[in-house]
Structure 1
Amino acid sequence: MTDLYHFYIARKSEFGKTCEALKKSIQKIAWARTGVALFSFYIIYLAFSNTNYWYALLPVIILFVFLVSRHGKIQARYDLYRNLEKINQLELGVLDNSYSAFNEGESFVNPHHEYSYDLDLFGKGSLFQFLNRCGTAIGERKLAQDLLMAQPTKDSIAKRQHAVRELAQDVEFRQWFWAQGHLLHDSTLDNEGLFNWLKESDLLLGKTIYKVLLVLFPIVSLVLIGFTVYDYWTYFPVLLLFGTLQMAIISFKSKVITRTEQALSQHKVLFDKYAQLMNKIAEAKFTASYLLEIQKEARDASIRIKKFSRLVNAFEARKNGIASMFGNSLYLYDFQCLYRLEKWRSLNKLMVKGWLDKIAEVEALNSLSTFHFNNPDNFFPVIHDDLSIQSEDMGHPLIASKGRVNNSFKIGPENIMLITGANMAGKSTFLRTAGVNLILALSGSSVCARYFACPLIALHTSMRATDSLVDHQSYFYAELSRLKGIMEQVRSNKPMLVLLDEILRGTNSRDKQVGSIGLLKQFVAFDVLVMLASHDVVLGELEKKFPKAIRNYCFESEIENEALRFDYKLHQGVAHKANASFLMQQMGILPQDHV
């Protein structure tokens, strides 16, 4: 950990010094621009007395344009290095378990998801916020998707693990990607506009009459220009009339063309920004097979996006009135540009989403890689085919290592792990720890454990049911609905892990006990892994009845010198101690002499 502190401090200092040097360069150029501008005004003043001074104005204007361009490039570098300085400062905070500066993914919170709400995957202080090193909106969506849905095959998990290992060592690439991504300021709305344009019907492409006109009219114009050069007075009126005809044809579509050009200009800005990330992927020195697959597509996408930018740049030339007049009157310039852009769209529209998905995938992998880099003792899980999960020294990644208590466990072939214990002893945290590490394992990430092995398995939880005034649901009915959904999945014989915490809290103790026993008996009959945490030690008797299916574990507490002490360690057997009355006495809810 000390080495990581020194590492991030050194990088922050390095980028800070670069920013200061660039800032000085920007200030110098700003003063130079001001001086050149004032000098140009002075030349103009002199030119009114001596016209020869007008010739001196051209190099001054060229110098001013150069300084403006130079200023823009240095400003872009400054913004990038400022972000690089910022990310290293943020990583220093993460080492101190402070990560609130990263986006918390509030928009992904879904109380009805199979497990995300119970396991605090999104929101303030969530796993998503802890992992998130995405610089773009599309990257954050991909990272959220990875947490909400396991990878489809063992092979895809293995490929991602190799990619995460490699990217974890490439800090320069990861941090550049984050820093550059944050300069995009992309949004879901921007991307929707782009995809809406890709879905639009073609105005010119595929229509024979426009295809003929776009070839025929330029040829006719060229012939008329030749004749005009040969006999100006005879053919110039014909050329002028033909040019007027072309302008009239363009005018019928001028509103649509102008609206399209404005939209394409916005899409080009977005595309150009994404292209910078594509270029970085294309230029990287990857060795992992999955990263090489992404790189291959990124290289092709980079070429195609550059062509799109060139086409839009040419289309934007219509903003110049003189160029537009000559271009449209001689060879239907607006139509020529629009036709080529529609052709580009026809060839590439089905691939654009895939290009952006590759950027998003790299960002998600960067997030998982940074997690592994910051936690070098993490373990890359073994994905097997057995219906069992085993872990050694497993901890919750959101709990700082210095205060974290790790536990080892194995579930399978006994498929039910019944965990009893007193309040605050660690039952719920253990369930969440198992769930979170399983999610990480099936996303291709390393996990917070010395060893972890699991199958490709679904995950369902019932730990935090909520009532709803809008849906007219009580807390108890909401929990029953949750359990009903879980049982439907269990009966489908789908391999899965079920995490249950203090189920049936909305009824009396006897009813809760009967319901819990009945539910556990159903789980015994299916090939499903179940971890159930409960205060009810009577449930522990089920191990005797189903010794091949149920194993008892517990978390205990001790009262020493009128103080409650927890070791947060998982033990075999049924819990023997309770602490509710003691806690109520300590808090003044019950009198000290209460029995």
Structure 2
Amino acid sequence: MLKTQAQIIFGYSQHIELVTATIENTKKRIENFSYLRIALFFIEVALFVLLLNSADDIGRTIIQIGLVIPIAVFAFVVKKQSKLDNEISYQKQLLWVYQNEWNLLNGIKNGYDDGAEYESEIHPYTSDLDIFGKASLYALINRCYTKKGKALLAKNLKESVQASFIISRQEAVKEVLTCIDDTFDFRANLHGFDAEKIERIKAQLDKELAAQLEFIRNGALKIYVKIAPFISFGILAVAIFFGGIFWNLLTVYLLANIAFVVSKGSKINKVYYSFSGGSNLLNGYAKAISWTEKHSWNTIYIQSLFAIDKPVSEEIKKLSKIIQEFDARLNIVVSTALNAFLLWDLKCCIKLNEWHQNSSKDVVAALNQLGDFEELIALATLAYNQPEWVFPKIKNDFTLQAEEIGHPLIPENIRVRNNYNIESTPTVDVVTGSNMAGKSTFLRTVGINAVLAYTGAPVCAKEMNLSVFKLNTFMRIKDSLNESTSTFKAELNRLKMILDNVSKSRDTFVLIDEMLRGTNSRDKYLGSKVFIEKLIAEQTPALFATHDLQLADMINEHPETLRNFHFDIQIQDGEMKFDYKLKQGPCSTFNAAILLKEIGLSLE
């Protein structure tokens, strides 16, 4: 049984409370470990004082052994506390994910990117249909954090594809919907990290790292790095037992090792800096990839996303571990000691080179694949949050049938739904009506739901059947001071684009809202009339919203290829009432005279 939206909102509230409680509990545990660390410090100090004041007997030996215990416990506590810090960081991201879903369903802005960077005035429909930017369809859908995921969602909102591909994506979204509870964990593992950082890591793995590691492939160098620790600790052991000149020899040898590492410093730095601090990031991405690997996917679309058969998450964890070891160089004291005895930086470079040769290409492919899953999860989350929306049926034959279709960006409590069907052969449907009656919103409702349908997402309707159209719109035409373009010229440019697209594709569907506003009323009518006749001649289906009732009269000349619809107003006690319902035939009631009267102008 499907949940209602109220139940879904309540579910998010419960998750928010549970995660918040978990965070508070984890904070207390971290705090307790902090107190324990302080206590261990004082115990160590006390034991050291006892050691200084003890006699040279068995008691002194016991104290010396005892000095090691607080240090060992301290190291364990630090490791445990670090793990809890990572856990609380993850829990905070999970809380953000749940809170963001609750916010969206309560009318608060989505915390993910709104896609403003993809806005384009010259695209056939995205600007007119509010696909990108503030309060857009992208802003409603997007749950992508990676660069690949955001770009893929934008691409699928901008391009029409074949019916079979849309159907395969619908099946994939439905499959993700069956495990929607796991997707919040997936998103939490990606959110909060520097998205640009992972892009730099991918670029380095794919294009730069092989050349940067060239210096470490020297056979003699690799042998020396391998035996250096044995030499260091061998001299140290001899020095402890025999002292004297061996301490001087050890000092010279360790300084020589440090100098050797410093001589390779510029090359080591090139290898290191793109990865620096990326260990936690990679662990998070590895967990997300692990989820995609462990799930048994059945749909062909999702199966096709896996370019490789073997699990890659473990390889990413290995890279994360190497980077974590490499990060020791951030502490100058620790780094100096490790390089002196172990040639640590060079050792890490050798490990990285071995890893790169075995796993790099697979890991880059898997990291890119995360964007594909993000995009599917975004659509599945929309379907989960809107249980009354339906997946449309994609037809091969010319079809557009919608029952109770509404605008997805209008809140449910004020959204008005309409029924709309096109004929089996293309027609131009002229929609007349008053200002503010709902013509423009209706055109956008049809267009934006078609865009949703073509991405594989559910639509805001009780039922919808449609074939694949190439949408072209003419709604928000702007002049341009920078390009010295008047409104009329901008309109002509847009109309030419539509006509060019109509001539290229028989599958074009045109949405026009009051064309040729930048010219006089006579030319506006004649231009609109000839444009409609051109669409009829090309057998191009269209929705044509206008105030010009003369265009509705064209049905007398084209009774088979032109239909009239309208939105009207009701006047009650001198007040205008809008029901925003689409009706058959041309409009007979307009509101201009009423609006003019309200500002002191009366029409005779």
- Residue 233 of structure 1 corresponds to none
Compared CA separation, residues 220 and 398, structure 1 to 2 (3 A): closer
- Residue 556 of structure 2 corresponds to 544
User: In percent, how many aligned pairs have the same letter?
Assistant: 30
Q: Secondary structure, in 3 states, of the residue corresponding to 1:403? A: coil
**Aligned residues of 1:12 and 1:89 also touching (Cα < 8 A):** yes
1:480 and 2:492 are equivalent in the alignment: yes
Partners of 1:536 and 1:248 in 2: CA distance: 85
- Residue 434 of structure 2 corresponds to 422
Partners of 2:503 and 2:287 in 1: CA distance: 49
Residue type of the alignment partner of 1:70: K
1:110 and 2:110 are equivalent in the alignment: no
How many residues align structurally? 581
**Aligned residues of 2:433 and 2:587 also touching (Cα < 8 A):** yes
Q: Deviations over 1:287-335 (max 9, x none)?
A: 444445546859633133233334445555677334434545xxxx766
- Residue 446 of structure 1 corresponds to 458
**Aligned residues of 2:429 and 2:542 also touching (Cα < 8 A):** yes
1:263 and 2:267 are equivalent in the alignment: no
Q: Which among 321, 337, 342 is matched to residue 336 of structure 2?
A: 321
- Residue 42 of structure 1 corresponds to 46
- When structure 1 is superposed on structure 2, of 24-33 and 260-269 the one drifting more is 260-269
- When structure 1 is superposed on structure 2, of 548-557 and 505-514 the one drifting more is 548-557
Q: Secondary structure, in 3 states, of the residue corresponding to 1:401? A: coil
Compared CA separation, residues 28 and 455, structure 1 to 2 (3 A): same
- When structure 1 is superposed on structure 2, of 269-278 and 398-407 the one drifting more is 269-278
Partners of 2:33 and 2:164 in 1: CA distance: 54
Q: CA RMSD in A?
A: 3.7
Residue type of the alignment partner of 1:12: I
Residue type of the alignment partner of 2:312: A
Partners of 1:7 and 1:135 in 2: CA distance: 23
Q: Within 5 Å, which residues of 2 pair with 1:138-217?
A: 138-150=148-160, 152-184=161-193, 186-188=194-196, 191-192=199-200, 194-196=202-204, 198-200=206-208, 202-203=210-211, 210-213=217-220
**Aligned residues of 1:416 and 1:530 also touching (Cα < 8 A):** yes
- Residue 30 of structure 1 corresponds to 34
Compared CA separation, residues 494 and 37, structure 1 to 2 (3 A): farther
Residue type of the alignment partner of 1:501: D
**Aligned residues of 1:420 and 1:537 also touching (Cα < 8 A):** yes
- Residue 239 of structure 2 corresponds to none
Q: Deviations over 1:255-287 (max 9, x none)?
A: 122232232334545433321211232234544
Partners of 2:52 and 2:555 in 1: CA distance: 103
Q: Secondary structure, in 3 states, of the residue corresponding to 1:277? A: helix
Q: CA deviation at 1:86?
A: 4.1
Partners of 1:313 and 1:15 in 2: CA distance: 28
Q: Secondary structure, in 3 states, of the residue corresponding to 2:421? A: strand
Q: Secondary structure, in 3 states, of the residue corresponding to 1:97? A: coil
Compared CA separation, residues 299 and 505, structure 1 to 2 (3 A): farther
- Residue 69 of structure 1 corresponds to 79
Q: Deviations over 1:551-595 (max 9, x none)?
A: 222111122211111121111221122212212323x2x33x443
Q: Within 5 Å, which residues of 2 pair with 1:275-290?
A: 275-284=286-295, 286-290=297-301
Partners of 2:472 and 2:164 in 1: CA distance: 23
Q: Secondary structure, in 3 states, of the residue corresponding to 1:551? A: strand
Q: Deviations over 1:63-114 (max 9, x none)?
A: 2222222223223333333444444444333333333545433333333332
Residue type of the alignment partner of 1:71: Q
Q: CA deviation at 1:176?
A: 1.6
- Residue 369 of structure 2 corresponds to 358
- Residue 232 of structure 1 corresponds to none
Partners of 1:100 and 1:337 in 2: CA distance: 42
- When structure 1 is superposed on structure 2, of 525-534 and 187-196 the one drifting more is 187-196
Partners of 2:302 and 2:480 in 1: CA distance: 45
Unaligned 5+ segments in structure 2 are 55-59, 236-245
Q: Within 5 Å, which residues of 2 pair with 1:62-101?
A: 62-101=72-111
Q: Deviations over 1:92-144 (max 9, x none)?
A: 33333333545433333333332222111222222222223334454333333
Q: CA deviation at 1:406?
A: 0.8
Give the TM-score of the pair, scaled to structure 1: 0.86
Compared CA separation, residues 204 and 513, structure 1 to 2 (3 A): closer
Q: Deviations over 1:40-62 (max 9, x none)?
A: 33333433334643432322122
**Aligned residues of 1:419 and 1:552 also touching (Cα < 8 A):** yes
Q: CA deviation at 1:224?
A: 10
Residue type of the alignment partner of 1:581: A
**Aligned residues of 1:134 and 1:181 also touching (Cα < 8 A):** no
- When structure 1 is superposed on structure 2, of 386-395 and 280-289 the one drifting more is 280-289
Q: Within 5 Å, which residues of 2 pair with 1:369-518?
A: 369-412=380-423, 413-493=425-505, 495-518=507-530
Give the TM-score of the pair, scaled to structure 2: 0.84
Compared CA separation, residues 137 and 464, structure 1 to 2 (3 A): same
**Aligned residues of 1:278 and 1:299 also touching (Cα < 8 A):** no
Unaligned 5+ segments in structure 1 are 229-235
Residue type of the alignment partner of 1:550: L
Compared CA separation, residues 189 and 508, structure 1 to 2 (3 A): farther
Compared CA separation, residues 57 and 153, structure 1 to 2 (3 A): farther
**Aligned residues of 1:83 and 1:179 also touching (Cα < 8 A):** yes
Q: Which among 21, 25, 43 is matched to residue 21 of structure 1?
A: 25
